[in-house]
């Protein structure tokens, strides 16, 4: 995974870190559980946050802006 959430593509090691899950192992386990149950994680746009890492839409957008 190399430090990136498989659902929202946020870089786990870059700020903002506001209550976000950054453990790759925990994300892999959550993702694997969804895949094994023939489910796909919902997008952050749908829920307002990432189902796997709990990053909010604002955090995702803020990180993308800071990378440019």
Phi, psi of 35 (to 5 degrees): -65, -40
DSSP conformation letters of 5-60: -TTT--BTTSS--TT----HHHHHHHHHHHHHTT--PPPHHHHSB-TTT--BHHHH
Question: By residue range, what is the domain housing residue 18?
Answer: 1-68
Number of domains in the chain: 1
pLDDT digits 0-9 by tens, 1-58? 578 998 999 998 888 888 888 888 999 999 999 999 999 889 888 999 999 999 999 9
pTM: 0.80
Q: Taking Cα atoms as reference points, which of 36, 35, 8 lies closest to residue 21?
A: 8
Phi, psi of 60 (to 5 degrees): -65, -45
């Amino acid at each position: 995974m190399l430090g990136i959430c498989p659902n929202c593509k946020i870089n786990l090691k870059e700020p903002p870190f506001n209550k976000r899950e950054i453990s790759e192992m925990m994300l892999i386990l959550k993702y694997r559980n969804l895949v094994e149950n023939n489910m796909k994680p919902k997008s952050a746009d749908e829920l307002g946050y990432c189902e796997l890492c709990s990053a909010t839409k604002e955090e995702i957008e803020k990180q993308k802006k800071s990378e440019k």
